[in-house]
Amino acid sequence: MSNSAPDPAVLVVGAGPAGLRAAADLAGLGIRVVLVEKRAELGGAPIRWRYKTLAPEQRPTEEVMGPMVRAVESSPRITIHRDALVDGLEGSAGSFRARIRATGTGAVEDVEVGAMVVATGFEHFDASLDPRYEYGRAPNVIGIHELEGMLSDGRVACHDGRAPKRVAFIFCVGSRDRATNPWCCTVCCGVSIKQGIELKELLKDVEVYMIYIDVRTFGLWEDLYWESMEKHGINFIRGRVSQVFDTGKQLLVKGEDTLVRGPFEVLMDMVVLAVGISPGEGTAQAAKAVGLNVNKYGFLQPRHPNVHFDSGKEGVFLAGACVAPMSVEEAILGGSAAAMQAAKAVRDLTAPVGAA
Amino acid sequence: MTGTSGADQGGKQGGQKGSFIVERQYVDDRLITEPKVLEDGGIDMSGRWGVLIAPRTITQFDHTLFHEVLSEPSGKHAHQCFQCGNCTAVCPVAEEQPLFNPRYFIHVVRMGYPLELENVRKHVYLCSSCGRCSEVCPRQVDPSGVMAAIGTVIRKKER
C-alpha cells in the first residue's frame, strides 16, 4: 500500500440493502466509492415498495435502511449517481474505466475505478404473467409488495373501500412452477406470514388463510410461523390454488385442501399473492454491460456456487439478490462481504480471494 | 352444498340411491339427490334425469366448532397443530382403524368441513387416551386431550 497515490475508487451498482452496505463499508475503510442507482431514491426494494416492517421480528424497515441511506448520503467519499446505470466496463482489475449513463438525459460520464461491486437486486415477480390468479384484472387481487405499502399507510381496504373480512394469501406465485419461475424465493413464506400477523393486528375481525405448498420459514423465521398460529389464529391450508374467479363482489378461490383430499371453492374479500423474486432488468443489463456470467434463471452466476461474492471476473464482486433470492439480512451481509473483497483488491493487500 | 367426499374416509357408498349410476361405489350417498316424484308444471318428470350428484367441493371454512374445542380445557392447544401427523403415526388405534386419525380430526374440526365432520363424530371416541401422541407431539398440542375435547363438544351439540 502506497501513501503517495490514493487508492482507486470502487464502483457500486445498485443502492439497495447490499449496495448501500457495500458503499458504506468501503467509505468507512477510507476508500472512495462511486454509487450508481437506476432509480431516483436510494434504498432498493424495501424503500421503493415501502416495506412496513422486516421479518422475522417486525422491526420497522427504517431502522435498517435509514442509517445506511444516511451514511451513504452524508459520506464525502461517496459520489452518488441517481437515475443512472453502468453502460460498459473496460480495462482490468485495478484500472477499470466504467461508463455511467444518465437514464433521463442520456448524458455519459466515464469514471476510473479499481474494482466493482454489482448489487442490482431483484424484481418482485409480475403476477399478471400467471393468468390464473386474475392479478391486474381483479382489483382485490394484490401482491405482497403492494400489501406492504397498504400496511405502511395503516389502512388495508378492498377496492371499494370496505375492510376485508376474509383474506387469502396464496404462496409460491411465480415460484416453484415450471410455467413461470422454478426456484424458491426463500422469503415470501415468512413475509406473507408476517403480513398476516400485521393484518390481524390492524383489522380485529379479519380471518386470514395461508394457502401453501410448504411453509419455508427458514432458520429463526420459524417463530413467525408458530406465532401466527398460536397467538394470532391464522389458518393454514395446504394446496395450490388453481384459479381465482372475480364474482364482482368477492373472489372465488379454487384449490384443494390436500390434507383432507378435498377440493374447495371459497369466497374471499381479498387475495394476496406471495409473489416470488425475479432477477429483473437491472441485473440483465448490468451482466451484459460488465460481461458477467448469468445462470439459467437469469441470476448472476458466481465462480463457485457457495461463494457468492466472487463473480469469476477479476475485480468484480457480487452482492445481494442479483445472485440468488435472499432476505434483507443476507443481502446486507453480502454487501459487506463484497466490500471486503473490493477493498482488498484496490489496496492490493493480497490477491483477490476466490473459491479456493 | 358443501363437504368433501367420504370416499376414503368412511362415507357410506353403494347404497340404494342412484343404483344405476356408473361406478356407483365412488359416490358418497349423502351427495345424491333422488326425488321419488318430480313434477314440473303439472307434467310428471320422474325418472333418472331427476337424479343429481352434488359436487363434494368445500364452499366455506367454518371455525365455530373449533373455537368451542379451544375453550375446552383439554383442547386449548389445538390451534398449535401444524399437521405433521406424528400423532397418527404413533397411535395404536390408528394402526388398527384407519378411520381414526387424530391429525385429520384436528384439521377437519378446525376448518369445519361438514361431510368429514360426520366421520369425526363417529370415530373420535375410539381414542384410548394412551397418551403416546401427546408424548411425541412437537408442538405440545396434546392430541389425546384434543380428541376428548372434540368428543365433548360434539356430544354437547347433539344433546
Domain boundary among A245, A277, A309: A277
Rounded distance, CA B81 to CA A1, Å?
A: 60
Q: What are phi and psi of A269, to 5 degrees?
A: -85, -30
Write out the residue range of the structural domain in which residue A137 sits. Answer: 125-277
Q: Residue A4 domain-assigned?
A: no
Contacts with B96 (C-beta within 8 Å, 6 or more apart), sequence order: none
Please report the pLDDT score of residue B17 as a whole number. 83
- Cβ burial of A285 (10 Å; 0-12, 13-18, 19+) is middle
Residues A151 and A262 in one domain: yes
Sorted by sequence, the CB contacts under 8 Å of residue B133 that are 6+ apart come out as: B86, B87, B88, B90, B91, B102, B143, B144
The stretches of chain B forming alpha helices (DSSP H) are 64-71, 86-90, 92-96, 102-111, 114-123, 132-136, 143-158
Taking an 8 Å cut-off on Cβ atoms, the answer to whether B107 and A266 are in contact is: no
**A317-339 residues labelled b (16+ CB within 10 A) or e (exposed):** bbbbbbbbbbbbebbbbbbbbbb
Dist CA B72 CA B70 (whole Å) = 5
Q: E strands along chain A, which residues?
A: 10-13, 33-36, 53-54, 59-60, 78-81, 84-92, 95-102, 108-113, 115-118, 123-124, 141-143, 166-173, 207-212, 235-238, 243-246, 251-257, 262-268, 270-275, 277-278, 316-318
Chain B hits for A227, CB-CB cut-off 8 Å, are none
Q: What is the CATH number of the domain that holds A159?
A: 3.50.50.60
| Whether residue A141 sits in one domain with residue A240 | yes
SS3 content of chain B, % helix, strand, coil (to 5): 50, 5, 45
| Alpha carbon B27 to its chain's center | 16
Last residue of a domain, one of A250, A277, A304: A277
Query: A142 and A258, same structural domain?
Result: yes
Contact criterion met (CB below 8 Å) for A21 and A65: no
Q: What is the pLDDT of residue B119?
A: 85
| B63 neighbourhood in chain A, CB within 8 Å | 207, 235
Is the domain of A173 the same as that of A233? Answer: yes
A355 lies in a domain? no
Going by C-alpha positions, the residue among B71, B66, B88 that lies closest to residue B143 is B88
Mean pLDDT, rounded, of chain B: 88
Name the amino acid, one letter, at B120. Answer: V
Q: Does A200 share its domain with A261? A: yes
Q: Give the model confidence (pLDDT) of B58-68 as tens digits.
A: 999 999 999 99
C-alpha cell at A86: 453502468
A236 CB neighbours in chain B (<8 A) are: 82-83
Residue A3 located in a structural domain: no
What would the grid cell of residue B24 be?
A: 356407483
Q: Is residue A236 part of a domain?
A: yes
Please answer whether residues B82 and B140 qualify as being in contact, where contact means their C-beta atoms are separated by less than 8 angstroms.
Answer: no
**Residues A129 and A270 occupy one common structural domain:** yes
Q: Both A197 and A319 in a single domain?
A: no
pLDDT of residue A349: 59
Residue pair B147/B127 in contact by the 8 Å Cβ criterion: yes
Judge: B56–A263 Cβ closer than 8 Å, yes or no: yes
Task: Tell me the pLDDT tens digit for each residue of B112-148.
Answer: 998 899 889 999 999 999 999 999 999 999 999 999 9
Structural domain contains residue A2: no
* Per-residue pLDDT in tens (0 to 9) along chain A, 356 residues: 445 567 899 999 999 999 999 999 999 999 999 999 999 999 999 999 999 999 999 999 999 999 999 999 999 999 999 999 999 999 999 999 999 999 999 999 999 999 999 999 999 999 999 999 999 999 999 999 999 999 999 999 999 999 999 999 999 999 999 999 999 999 999 999 999 999 999 998 999 999 999 999 999 999 999 999 999 999 999 999 999 999 999 999 999 999 998 999 999 999 999 999 999 899 999 999 999 999 999 999 999 999 999 999 999 999 999 999 999 999 999 999 999 999 999 987 555 555 44
Asked if A158 and A246 sit in the same domain, the reply is: yes
Residues A108 and A153 in one domain: no
3-state class (DSSP) for residue A222: helix
Provide the shortest C-alpha distance from residue A95 to chain B (in Å): 56
Say yes or no: A283 and A273 in one domain.
no
The answer as to whether A1 is a domain residue is no
* The three three-digit cell numbers of residue A228, written as one number: 401466527
Q: Which residues of A touch B61 (CB under 8 A)?
A: 207, 209, 235, 264, 266
Task: Look at residue A106 and tell me if it is in a domain.
Answer: yes
One domain for residues A77 and A148: no
Within 8 A of B139 by CB-CB distance, chain A residues are: 226
Element spanning A188, H or E: helix A188-202
Number of cross-chain residue pairs from A and B with Cβ atoms under 8 Å apart: 65
Residue at A339 is within a domain? yes
Q: Can you tell me the distance from the alpha carbon of A260 to that of B105, in angstroms, rounded to the nearest whole number? A: 10
Residues A262, A285: one domain?
A: no
Residue A138 to residue A159: CA distance in whole angstroms: 9
The secondary structure of residue A310, as a DSSP letter, is B
pLDDT for res B4: 42
- Pick from A229, A262, A265: CB nearest B82: A229
User: In this structure, is the dihedral angle defined by the CA atoms of residues B59, B63, B68 and B74, taken in order, positive or negative?
Assistant: positive
Distance CA B10, CA A115 (A): 68
Q: What is the ipTM of this complex?
A: 0.87
* Number of domains, chain A: 2
Q: Does A218 touch chain B (CB under 8 A)?
A: no
Report whether A88 contacts A99 (CB < 8 A): yes
Q: Which of B1, B4, B109, B118 to mutate to test the interface with A (most CBs of A within 10 A)?
A: B4
Q: Note the pTM of the prediction, 2 decimals.
A: 0.91
Domain ends where: A277, A303, A332?
A277
CB B81 within 8 A of CB B106: yes
